[in-house]
Amino acid sequence: MDISSASSSRVPPSVVKGKEHEKLDIDRPVVKPGFSDQEYASLISLALSDFALFSDPDLRRKIDGGEDGFVSLLHVLKHALHGILISESETAVAKALRSEATDILEVRMVLSGPSWSVQGSYKNKGMFEVRRRDSVASLSRNKFTREDWNERMLYIENTPVQYASLSGVFHLIQALLAKNTDTVPTSNRIQAISFPPHHLDKPRDIPKCKGFALVTLLDVEDVQRLLREWPWTSAVDVKPPIPEIQEAVKFGFRTLSKRRWDEMKDEYLAYRARLVKEIVAYEDEITVIKRRRSPSPAISSIPPQTVESTLSSSSLFPPNCLVFVRNLHCETNKTTLRALFSKAFTTLPDGIDYVDFTKGMDSCYLRVATSEHVRALTDYFTQAKMAQTNGLDSEGRDVEAKAITMETVGGRREEIYWEKVPAKVRREAVDKALRLLESDTMRKDSGGNKRIRRKK
């Protein structure tokens, strides 16, 4: 069988005004069909198969309602096989079926009913009807259930490129089954061929063969034979020197049952979902690390190697007021951490300015009001040796291992952190620290003066 798209030229009938209504207009341009005669025969055979009648209620109703089981060839071209025949000439298809498929399909011309007017590119529309020669017997025996058809489906992969089409796969499977003769007619052994959509396909794209397909056969023995002769994992045996078989061996053609294919697809989708989740989590973690370590160009006004040790009104940030905390519960939150850290300030006002915590992490940065608050915080948690029992634990419990640890951040590392903080926030932190230091100085001075007066 020649599966190339080249075929002999055909002249479509046309309507000529006057007395010669049935005369062909040989001056019209020649319309070349997209398939060979044998390909038309195989495609229409698929469109009218038992499986097609099972899965297409509309086609079944039209055949049941038609005369003697005939159905409009135009309807088959427009609605069957994912619309791949929708642009084909009805006359060309009818001639091809009469030439190559007389043993399985019967075509007749409609002498009344549909209009014979010519529209578009000189195509006759609604002029022919078609039926399977075994249509009456087929409809009476077509009692397969969905489960029966699933048992007769198999997945094929690594299809040779020259057979990567609907008619090409039909021809390939026909050749692989040709050496086995049984009671099932060869023309009816292949019931359906479909191409699973690619993940890059758009919703309305016509499915195309990308080297894999789902094939439905009429006989379970044919399915088992292909699974046995073209297994999924092990190497195939020596094959006869038939061109189609040799090409299948060359490309690594293999088969898998539909049931096992569904299982592998579910396993793959679960693996892909887990992998995407892990990638997202990893990228989020990398983003957090980069955000903490990379200075922002917009606020990189802090010159390097200018470590501040004392606080003044011109300070770019309050020095020695940043603490890095480790061994936190990964499911905790900022509110819980603020309540937990505030336990350290028994004699001082609450000095937690901001808890820089990202959900899912076991560490965070604390921006504290003054260096005195930093000392109180680190002293308290160094002595307490506590950890969180759960994500909402704001009290902590005494432990020896994995206790919460505090580290005062200084030097260039402290500068890099503050470079990420907006200038307005840095200014507010400096002003707050100055106010607290001023009020503390006044409190101490006031206490000293009172003691002096008592001595007098």
Q: What is the pLDDT of residue 135?
A: 61
Class of domain 145-261: alpha beta
Q: What is the pLDDT of residue 9?
A: 37
Lowest mean pLDDT among 118-122, 153-157, 338-342, 393-397: 118-122
Give the sign of the dihedral formed by CA 78, CA 79, CA 82, CA 85: negative
**pLDDT (tens digit, 9 = 90+) per residue, 409-447?**
888 888 888 888 888 888 888 888 888 877 766 555 555
Is 400 a residue whose pLDDT tops 60?
Answer: yes
Q: What is the pLDDT of residue 119?
A: 45
- The pairs formed by 104-109 with CB atoms below 8 angstroms and a separation of 24 or more are 104/41, 104/45, 104/132, 104/133, 104/134, 104/185, 104/187, 104/188, 105/41, 105/44, 105/45, 105/48, 105/130, 105/131, 105/132, 105/133, 106/130, 106/131, 106/132, 106/133, 107/73, 108/70
- Max avg pLDDT among 99-108, 161-170, 394-403: 161-170
pTM, rounded to two decimals: 0.51
Place of tokens 């504290």: 368
Contact in structure between 400 and 385 (CB atoms under 8 Å) = yes
Q: Which residues contact 454 (CB under 8 A, 6 or more apart)?
A: none
Q: What is the pLDDT of residue 305?
A: 41
Q: Which ranges in the chain are annotated with CATH 3.30.70.330? A: 145-261, 306-445
Q: What is the pLDDT of residue 154?
A: 95
The residue ranking higher by pLDDT, 122 or 60, is 60
Contact in structure between 138 and 226 (CB atoms under 8 Å) = no
| Both tokens assigned to 122 | 């000189």
Q: What is the pLDDT of residue 121?
A: 39
Q: What is the pLDDT of residue 220?
A: 92
For residue 449, the SS3 value is: helix
CB atoms within 10 A of CB 286: 10
Q: What is the pLDDT of residue 75?
A: 87
Separation CA 138–CA 358 (nearest Å): 67
Q: For residue 141, list its beta bridge partners.
A: none
Is 217 a residue whose pLDDT tops 90?
Answer: yes
Is 90 a residue whose pLDDT tops 80?
Answer: yes
Q: Are strands 397-398 and 386-387 parallel, antiparallel or unpaired?
A: antiparallel
Q: Which ranges in the chain are annotated with CATH 1.10.10.10? A: 1-143
Q: What is the pLDDT of residue 302?
A: 46
Separation CA 388–CA 383 (nearest Å): 16
Q: What is the pLDDT of residue 295?
A: 53
Mean pLDDT of the chain: 77
Q: Return phi, psi of residue 354, to 5°.
A: -160, 135
Separation CA 46–CA 51 (nearest Å): 9
Residue 81's nearest CA partner among 118, 43, 135 is 43
CATH number of 306-445: 3.30.70.330
Separation CA 339–CA 249 (nearest Å): 70
Q: What is the pLDDT of residue 186?
A: 59
The residue ranking higher by pLDDT, 134 or 52, is 52
% of the chain beyond a pLDDT of 70: 75
Predicted confidence band at 142 (pLDDT cuts at 50, 70, 90)? low
CA distances in angstroms from 169 to 160, 187, 379, 439, listed in the order given: 9, 14, 77, 88
- Max avg pLDDT among 182-186, 192-196, 305-309, 359-363: 192-196
Q: What is the pLDDT of residue 446?
A: 57
Average pLDDT over residues 193-211: 79
The residue ranking higher by pLDDT, 2 or 202, is 202
DSSP string, 214-233: EEEES-HHHHHHHHHHS-SS
Lowest mean pLDDT among 166-170, 185-189, 272-276: 185-189
Q: What is the pLDDT of residue 180?
A: 54
Predicted confidence band at 153 (pLDDT cuts at 50, 70, 90)? very high
Is 139 a residue whose pLDDT tops 60?
Answer: no
How many Cα atoms sit within 13 Å of 32 on the Cβ side? 6
| Both tokens assigned to 24 | 């062909």
Is 42 a residue whose pLDDT tops 60?
Answer: yes
Lowest mean pLDDT among 44-48, 102-106, 176-180: 176-180
Is 345 a residue whose pLDDT tops 90?
Answer: no
Predicted confidence band at 231 (pLDDT cuts at 50, 70, 90)? very high
Predicted confidence band at 235 (pLDDT cuts at 50, 70, 90)? low
Predicted confidence band at 292 (pLDDT cuts at 50, 70, 90)? low
For residue 371, the SS3 value is: helix
The residue ranking higher by pLDDT, 291 or 173, is 173
Continuous segment of H or E residues that includes residue 425: helix 423-455
Predicted confidence band at 308 (pLDDT cuts at 50, 70, 90)? very low
CATH number of 1-143, picked from 1.25.40.10, 3.40.1440.10, 3.40.190.10, 1.10.10.10: 1.10.10.10
Separation CA 63–CA 285 (nearest Å): 62
